[in-house]
Amino acid sequence: MTDTQVGIIGAGPAGLLLSYLLHLQGIDAVVLEARSREYVEKRVRAGVCEQPTVDLLRNIGVGARMDAEGMPHHGLSFRFEGEDHRIPLTELTGKCITVYGQQEIVKDLITAHVDKGLRIEFEVSDVVLHDLETERPRVTYTDADGNACELICAAVAGCDGFHGVSRPSIPEGQLKVYDHEYPFAWLGVLAKTPPSHEELIYARHERGFALHSMRSPELTRLYLQVPPGESLDNWPDERIWSELQQRLETKDGFTVREGPILEKNITPMRSFVVEPMQYGRLFLAGDAAHIVPPTGAKGMNLAIADVRNLAWALKALLQVGDPEPAAAYSDRCLDRVWRAEHFSWYMTQMLHADPGADAFQQRLQLSQLRYTVRSKAAAGSLAENYVGLPFR
């Protein structure tokens, strides 16, 4: 049996950042993770960091490698009808985004934990949350050596993702669920080839959406819209490259640099929110509470905004004895969550080929794209949301 102030479920960027923020405020925490350290450090996920995310990581002293290896982007391209249209993010907002993989942030935070002697337990199993409605919730689990363990804390943070144990631990009927599934999925590939363009390209094409991104000067991240339930068996490398060439081509002869494909995966597209994001002394953060389609590059950034709020609320609760910020945690987060949900939905519906859309709807989609790239006001609104709204 171990006593700590906060038990954190999940060692993704949300759980690790929360643990480190609490440490900086003098609050003890223990992080429990079902996977191995090697797995979480190699798990390729998001790659776009908003300006507020970048500033926060710098301010707490874990941004040195991000500044050395991350790739700042001052614009992005919308591509449709064979032409490229650049949205000048920095010119419109004074801010930028930084391409730096989620797994790299995880590595940096794990290193910071090791340097400070902060506790992360990897490869735990049988995690169960107890007594959440009390002031002393418990977490029971089996550690990596097979020992039965119990963690007694003052609060539990559920940072274990959409499929984790935290959200299902809340009694039925306590949460209102908003769930929307899209009629397509993303086929994502990681290729060992230099990026074909210096910035991200969002392409709307009759054959389906495509995205050109990157993870480093030597690694390109690319995505294709595919039907939901599609099998990777239907997508040999040759077909992937052929489809990318067609969807990303321009009238002036742009071509995609091809190379060995290192990874492939298919991700369904959905929007999902639960309200409230808390029950008793359990606080949900990140994908445990909300999912956005990846078109808006908001998932990891929302998780980071959540735990920034949560760290502040727990400091007030545990050090000052003020319960109000913790009670208001959900409302404070959901204001930003719903803004990001709308922006991600907007980007998704503007750029994807909806199999159920008629000719009228397709013309409306093109009209929205043309207006967005031609109007400084429309482009400015998109840029403001894309680089990240200021933290409250």
Using CA atoms of 341, 344, 345, 346 in order, give the dihedral in degrees to the nearest 10.
120
One-letter amino acid of 355: P
User: Is 73 in the active site?
Assistant: yes
* Other Cβ atoms closer than 10 A to 59: 9
DSSP string spanning 174-218? S-EEEEEEEEEEEEEEEESS--SSSS-EEE--TT--EEEEEEETT
Instruction: Give catalytic status of residue 141 as yes or no.
Output: no
Residues 6+ positions from 187 with CB-CB distance below 8 Å: 223, 224, 225, 226, 230, 232, 235, 240, 264, 265, 266
Q: Which of 52, 195, 276, 294 is catalytic?
A: 294
Amino acid at 12: G
Residues 6 or more apart whose CB falls under 8 angstroms from that of 151 comprise 1, 2, 4, 7, 30, 32, 138, 139, 140, 141
Inter-residue contact 47 to 221 (CB < 8 Å) = yes
**Would residue 294 show up in a list of annotated catalytic residues for this protein?**
yes
Q: Which residues contact 168 (CB under 8 A, 6 or more apart)?
A: none
Coil, helix or strand for 285? coil
Inter-CA distances, 125 with 2, 39, 106, 146, 221, Å: 17, 15, 21, 9, 32
Task: Spot the catalytic one: 20, 202, 279, 329.
Answer: 202
11 and 121 in contact (C-beta within 8 Å)?
no
Give me the catalytic one of 95, 298, 315, 352: 298
* Active-site residue identified among 20, 100, 329, 386: 386
Catalytic-labelled residue, pool 23, 52, 73, 279: 73
Cα–Cα distance measured from residue 3 to residue 24, given in angstroms and rounded to the nearest whole number: 19
Q: Which two tokens stand for residue 33?
A: 């993770």
User: Which among 204, 194, 148 has a CA at the least distance from the CA of 2?
Assistant: 148
Active-site amino acid positions = 73, 202, 294, 298, 386
